[in-house]
Structure 1
Amino acid sequence: MHSFSWPTYGAFAAFALLLVIAPGPDFAVVVKNALVGGRRYGRWTSVGVTASNAVQGTAAALGVGALIVASQPLFEAVRWAGVVYLCWLGVQALRSAWRGPAAVPEDGEPVGDVASRWVRWRQGFLSNITNPKVLVFYLSVLPQFLQPGSSVVHGLALAYTHAAMSLAWLFLLVATLHTLRAWLARRRVRRSLDTLTGVALFGFAGRLATDSH
């Protein structure tokens, strides 16, 4: 087994960073929930996204992901589940824009109970786990940064690095939205952002529906 290559790891980290900061469905879902419930909801959604990244990265490293991608019916079922779920979230965002934002405390942090946190975590997790393109990413990209004879541990290290970078980026996004909470609390601004988020979610759903692996 070859030793771990730090230069290769650095190249992967740089590549992963570019992918992480590119807006996608996860970005839109985190923004939607952060607008609704401030940092707490945004962070729980981010943790859900990261948990899904870890699950899909583990599946790819262990070889399970390849079986899912190779099974056309299963792959299509996951893909269309993702399309439907993103559309549902898009409808929620547009409904919020139509009705106007609900009032939140001045600090932007709703009281929230365990159930509400679970809902936000679940939305982040499902928006990612039902996107088979994430799994395809791990299966197609990770091998390019692994040396011949690399162990499963090396593959997991790359997958978890991507997940950790995603969490850091989403937490930064949530913190930025919290900093702008006074401006975002304006009714017109919130309704505009909810509309844009809803349209973006429908756009991501459409792209997922038309893409083929």
Structure 2
Amino acid sequence: MFDFSVWLTIAIMHAVAVASPGPDFAVVLKQSLQKGKKAGIWTSIGVGSGILVHVVYSLLGVGLLIQANDWLYEVLLYAAAAYLVWIGFGALRSMPSENQTQDVPAAKGTSKNAFILGFITNGLNPKATLFFLALYSLAIPTDTSLSVKLAYGVYLAVATGLWFVFVSLLASHASIRRIYQQKGYWFDRLMGVVIILMAILLVVSQ
């Protein structure tokens, strides 16, 4: 049965994670700034679709592992907290630079290539792997039905895609590019604080 409180927890954790600095943001920003709105939107759709890769292996493996090994819960908890602290401090160390985007190889030409670029960037991101394993094992009760778990996963994919479509639309404007290049490090630092606080809450709430 669908649990609104569980969904709300997932939505909040996902919102913080998806808005934090990372390869998905970098590749969508780069595609949007360099190749325009269409490329940015298709890259965003690819990123959202890549979320389903993490959802599928989370559903197939983590629940069974948690049921068979009680100690794995705490391992995942502290691994997730350590990971969040690590990326949080990395964001806090962000400094001003002439170009805030990462040098991510961009697809050339078609919308298909843009989609594939976004899909691979998210699907093969090891940081996303750890985050989604922790998210599914900590936020979703193990007795939740498969259909509801799938519904949560579809929400995560759609919400991710919509967020990055929004980012791509904003980044298509030259004025936004100039602002980000000058002040983007302040956004990175703010998200670093939020991520570290989330890691602390994960540990002290247990």
Which category describes the TM-score, using the shorter chain as reference length? 0.5 to 0.7
Paired residue for 2:38? 40
Give the one of 161, 171, 176 matched to 2:165.
171
- 1:64 offset after TM fit, Å? 8.2
- 1:53 offset after TM fit, Å? 0.6
The one-letter code of the counterpart of 2:113 is: V
- 1:133 offset after TM fit, Å? 2.3
**Higher mean C-alpha displacement, 23-32 vs 148-157:** 148-157
- CA–CA distance in structure 1, aligned partners of residues 5 and 176 of structure 2: 42
- CA–CA distance in structure 2, aligned partners of residues 65 and 122 of structure 1: 29
The one-letter code of the counterpart of 2:17 is: L
- CA–CA distance in structure 2, aligned partners of residues 132 and 54 of structure 1: 14
Question: 1:184 and 1:16, CA in 2 relative to 1: closer, same or farther beyond 3 A?
Answer: closer
Tell me whether 1:90 sits opposite 2:103 in the alignment: yes
Paired residue for 1:141? 135
Alignment of 1:110-121 (within 5 A): 116-121=110-115
Question: 1:65 and 1:47, CA in 2 relative to 1: closer, same or farther beyond 3 A?
Answer: farther
Which of the pair has more CA radius of gyration? 1
- CA–CA distance in structure 1, aligned partners of residues 105 and 149 of structure 2: 37
The runs of at least 4 consecutive aligned structure 1 residues that moved more than 3 Å come to 64-67
- CA–CA distance in structure 2, aligned partners of residues 128 and 65 of structure 1: 22
Which TM-score applies when normalising by structure 1? 0.59
SS in 2 for 1:42: helix
Paired residue for 2:197? none
Tell me whether 1:132 sits opposite 2:132 in the alignment: no
- CA–CA distance in structure 2, aligned partners of residues 144 and 171 of structure 1: 28
Question: 1:65 and 1:174, CA in 2 relative to 1: closer, same or farther beyond 3 A?
Answer: farther
The one-letter code of the counterpart of 1:153 is: S
SS in 2 for 1:149: coil
- CA–CA distance in structure 2, aligned partners of residues 121 and 12 of structure 1: 25
Question: 1:64 and 1:175, CA in 2 relative to 1: closer, same or farther beyond 3 A?
Answer: same
Question: 1:64 and 1:11, CA in 2 relative to 1: closer, same or farther beyond 3 A?
Answer: closer
SS in 2 for 1:90: coil
Deviations 1:84-127 (A, max 9, x none): xxxxx72758xxxxxxxxxxxxxxxxxxx9x5212211111111
Alignment of 1:67-86 (within 5 A): none
The question of whether the paired residues in 2 share the 8 Å contact of 1:146 and 1:154 is answered with no
- CA–CA distance in structure 1, aligned partners of residues 20 and 104 of structure 2: 23
Paired residue for 1:31? 29
Give the one of 7, 12, 15 matched to 1:14.
12
